[in-house]
């Protein structure tokens, strides 16, 4: 398998605190990979370093072999890495359709006018929001706003999709629907790196996982094997 994303020697300090220390892992084309670890272990910082919201002190982030570490977020998004955020970010006073169109205008080959409308409707149907394009984003329920954020990320036609606790805060029914949606994207060939705490979701969705603790990668590999590693178990029990 080819590594689509390759992170190596990634380090980020905040003052005296090393939030991410020499992190190294790779995500293969077409896989859904989990990024796990107790609170404060460096997962969100790692996502921010990959998406360009933060610049690493040292280390590289390679997308298809090209080092993108330290580039600006919009350049990285255009280059093929889209993300969702831990706290949902939709534009409340725009329609659902316009939110998606804003993503389409942002991609490497922007779409405008009628083609953008058609593509936006397709993306909305893909995330389960078919027919909702005309309402204000603010009128959507929380889970539907999450679906909208996903549609906007997909509008970039990403090579890699970063999900930061996309399933957090959903009730049991919404969680099942959310897992099914991520599953369907994976079946369509979307490569995903997801920070997640919901273990049942990780077991169902992630073929492999990386586990961080105190800024360092402490385990990586097939999900069931990683979950059984003593270092992983004690990292979680110590949380
Ligand atoms: P996780 O996502 O695994 O919960 P984070 O990446 O958010 O962990 O945080 C890792 C560590 O870095 C934590 O100790 C956190 O307090 C610290 N940290 C994160 N962002 C900042 C920041 N902007 N300034 C200072 N410290 C930060």
Per-residue pLDDT of the chain (239 residues; tens, 9 = 90+): 579 999 999 999 999 999 999 999 999 999 999 999 999 999 999 999 999 999 999 999 999 999 999 999 999 998 899 998 776 677 878 899 999 998 888 887 887 888 889 999 999 999 999 999 999 999 999 999 999 999 999 999 999 999 999 999 999 999 999 999 999 999 999 999 999 988 899 999 999 999 999 999 999 999 999 999 999 999 887 75
Q: Where are the alpha helices (DSSP H) in the chain?
A: 43-51, 73-78, 96-104, 113-126, 142-154, 172-187, 199-205, 223-227, 230-237
Nearest CA to ligand 1 atom 1: 40
Residue among 35, 37, 41, 45 to mutate when testing ligand 1 (max atoms within 8 A of CB): 45
| Pocket, ligand 1, Cβ cutoff 6 A | 14, 17, 19, 37, 39-45
CA pair distance 84, 53, nearest whole angstrom: 12
| Reported pTM | 0.94
Ordered by where they begin, the domains of the chain are 1-78+185-239 (3.40.50.300), 81-157 (no CATH)
Q: What is the value of ipTM here, to two decimals?
A: 0.98
Q: For residue 40, how far is its CA from the centre of ligand 1 (angstroms)? A: 6
What is the atom index within ligand 1 of the atom nearest the CA of 38?
3
What DSSP character marks residue 7? E
């Amino acid at each position: 398998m080819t590594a689509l994303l390759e992170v190596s020697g990634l380090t980020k300090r905040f003052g005296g605190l090393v939030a991410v220390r020499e992190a190294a892992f790779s995500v293969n084309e077409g896989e859904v990979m989990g990024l796990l670890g107790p609170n404060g272990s460096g997962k969100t910082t790692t996502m921010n370093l990959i998406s360009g919201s933060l610049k690493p002190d040292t280390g590289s982030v390679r997308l298809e072999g090209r080092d993108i570490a330290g580039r600006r977020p919009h350049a990285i998004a255009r280059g093929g890495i889209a993300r969702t955020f831990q706290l949902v970010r939709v534009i409340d006073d725009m329609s659902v359709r316009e939110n998606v169109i804003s993503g389409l205008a942002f991609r490497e080959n922007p779409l405008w006018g009628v083609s953008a409308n058609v593509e936006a409707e397709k993306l909305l149907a893909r995330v389960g929001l078919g027919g909702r394009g005309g309402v204000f984003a603010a009128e959507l329920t929380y889970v539907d706003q999450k679906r909208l954020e996903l549609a906007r990320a997909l509008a970039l036609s990403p090579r890699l999709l970063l999900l930061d606790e996309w399933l957090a805060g959903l009730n049991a029914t919404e969680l099942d629907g959310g897992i099914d949606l991520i599953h369907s994207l994976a079946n369509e060939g979307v490569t995903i790196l997801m920070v997640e705490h919901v273990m049942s979701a990780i077991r169902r969705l992630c073929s492999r996982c990386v586990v961080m603790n105190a800024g360092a990668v402490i385990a990586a590999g097939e999900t069931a094997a990683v979950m059984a590693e003593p270092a992983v178990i004690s990292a979680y029990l110590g949380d």
